[in-house]
Amino acid sequence: MTQRVLTGITTTGTPHLGNYVGAIRPAIAASREAGVDSFFFLADYHALIKCDEPARIERSRMALAATWLAAGLDTERVTFYRQSDVPEITELNWLLTCVTAKGLMNRAHAYKASTDINVAAGEDPDHGVTMGLFCYPVLMAADILMFNAHRVPVGRDQVQHIEMARDVAQRFNHLFGREFFTLPDAQIDAEMALLPGLDGRKMSKSYDNVVPLFEGGSKGLKDAIARIVTDSRLPGEPKDPDSTALTTLFEAFATPEQTAAFRAELVAGLGWGEAKQRLYQQIEAEIGPMRARYEALMAAPEQLEALMQQGAQRARAIAAPFLAELRAAVGLRPFQPLAAASSAATQKAALPVFKQYREADGRFYFKLTAADGRLLLQSAGFEQGREAGQWVGRLKAEGAAALAQAPVSLADGVAAEEVGAALAALAEA
């Protein structure tokens, strides 16, 4: 079966070598595998959560589009689009918002980190927190569920968001009675390993230690490499290959044999200046040929725009019919004679129903509702979903006899006899 792989890139920065090695290169390689249907998109709505500078957003989304294409993304194979070009995603975002427990969002790491900082600083916990930040995981769930992705390659910091997308999908499926959504799995790539920056810490804009990928041209690359921190050993003195980020950077662009030879030369006394020159050549051999394409695309925005429009069209061809199904499922349907609609509804509801679900407190519950939708029975919360399932099984099989032992309470104004009759009706069906 085809595996749908989907990932988004927030458009707030311009890519550096760490992004290339950690995300762009492995994602493009994966998109070339047989049996994989890839969806890569620019998460420009997510960018608005972190950034209110229009010029920066504009520049970043264009640079990112050009970077992915220059790095070899094949728009014939991959559905490549801007999130904001697919209005179905924001519409789904709302359908999902309406079934997402606020308590689930309260537990999101990114939100909690903000409130922790505020509390530590003696501020109101929600100081500076927008609804965008608070609801960030719901929009991300909409991104993923819109295309029913099986696998979502992400960094470790995003794993909780994928779990939340699963929770939200399950809740929707349960409420509306069908497996509308595939439950996605996070894929944490071994290749997503973090590349060190100039000073040996993780390469990140916030540490100001990045090597730009295309920006600044080959000179920019060379200048950044010249700033890699090394010790002061002179040419001819033996070097420790692991004393600097140079070796790891080299390794990311070399075969194991080339890396072994490079290490041996350092031990044998290769000068740092010469070593940096080798590193430059090694990286340039891979990305130099891509740079020309990057620059050509940046100089031809109308061409980039046309490619993104095509991508959006392809994405919408999938999203629009699916969204129509989802709208109908929640009751947003074209008007039709209600008699027809409601008789279909009553046929389906002719029997009492057990529903199992999980609450924001993490516990599992079940309830029994009458054919007309009134609540009859409400269970206590269980640690394990299995326990709830077992009680439902017993109540169905043993009827009123199991009622006295089950950890349940009758709804207000409901007599035990009515519940017994409902269970009997279920058992008969």
Q: Please tell me whether residue 146 binds ligand TRP under the rule CB under 6 A.
A: no
DSSP per residue over 324-348, as a string? HHHHHHHT------HHHHHHHHHHH
Query: Which residues have CB under 8 Å from 408's CB, separation 6+?
Result: 377, 378, 379, 380, 391
Q: Which of residues 147-166 bind ligand TRP (CB under 6 A)?
A: 152, 154, 158
Q: Of these, 66, 70, 73, 140, which contacts ligand TRP (CB under 6 A)?
A: 140
Nearer to ligand TRP, 318 or 380 (CB): 318
The rounded distance, in Å, linking the Cα atoms of 160 and 109 is 8
Choose the binding region for ligand TRP from 3-11, 57-65, 250-258, 376-384 (rule: CB under 6 A). 3-11
Q: Are 202 and 18 in contact (CB under 8 A)?
A: yes
Kindly state whether residue 10 participates in binding ligand TRP, applying the rule CB under 6 A.
Answer: yes
* Number of other CB atoms surrounding residue 367 within 10 Å: 17
Residue whose C-alpha is closest to residue 11's, from 51, 70, 71: 51
Q: How far is the CB of 131 from ligand TRP (least distance, A)?
A: 17
Query: Which of the stretches 5-13, 197-205, 262-270, 379-387 binds ligand TRP when contact is defined by CB under 6 A?
Result: 5-13
Q: How far apart are CA 211 and CA 204, in angstroms?
A: 9
CB of 56 to ligand TRP, least distance (A): 16
Instruction: In angstroms, give the least distance from the CB of 308 to ligand TRP.
Output: 17
* Distance from the Cα of residue 394 to its chain's centroid: 39
Cβ of residue 34: shortest distance to ligand TRP, in angstroms? 23
- Contacts by 251-255, CB closer than 8 A, 24 or more apart: 252/17, 252/21, 252/195, 253/282, 253/283, 253/285, 253/286, 254/282
Q: In this complex, which beta carbon is closest to ligand TRP, that of residue 154 or of residue 392?
A: 154
Size of the residue set binding ligand TRP (CB under 6 A): 12
Nearer to ligand TRP by Cβ, of 21 and 152: the residue is 152
Contact 347, 121 (CB under 8 A): no
- Answer yes or no whether residue 43 interacts with ligand TRP by CB under 6 A: yes
Residue placing its CB nearer to ligand TRP in the complex, 45 or 366:
45
Q: For ligand TRP, which is the closer residue by CB, 17 or 246?
A: 17
Dihedral angle sign, alpha carbons of residues 6, 304, 69, 62: negative
Neighbour count for residue 341 (Cβ, 10 Å): 12
Counting contacts by CB under 6 A, is residue 44 touching ligand TRP?
Answer: no
Q: Would you say 83 or 248 has its CB closer to ligand TRP? A: 83
Q: Does 46 bind ligand TRP (CB under 6 A)?
A: yes
If one asks whether residue 7 binds ligand TRP (CB under 6 A), the answer comes out as: yes
Candidates 6-14, 205-213, 244-252, 385-393; binding stretch for ligand TRP (CB under 6 A): 6-14
Asked whether the beta carbons of 120 and 353 are under 8 A apart, the reply is: no
Residue 64 engages ligand TRP in binding (rule: CB under 6 A): no
Choosing from 64, 86, 99, 144, the residue that interacts with ligand TRP (CB under 6 A) is 144
Pure H helices in 32-158: 44-50, 54-70, 87-97, 102-106, 109-120, 131-134, 136-146
Q: Which is nearer to ligand TRP, 158 or 369 (CB)?
A: 158
Sheet containing 3-10: give its strands across.
Answer: 78-82, 36-43, 3-10, 151-153, 185-187
| Lookup: tokens for 352 | 């009492």
CB of 3 to ligand TRP, least distance (A): 15
- Let me know the angle formed at the C-alpha of 42 by 38 and 46, rounded to the nearest 5 degrees: 125
> Cβ closer to ligand TRP: 152 or 308?
152
Distance of closest approach, residue 110 Cβ to ligand TRP, in angstroms: 9
Of the listed pieces 139-147, 340-348, 350-358, 418-426, which binds ligand TRP according to CB under 6 A? Answer: 139-147
Interface residues toward ligand TRP, by CB under 6 A: 6-8, 10, 43, 46, 140, 143-144, 152, 154, 158
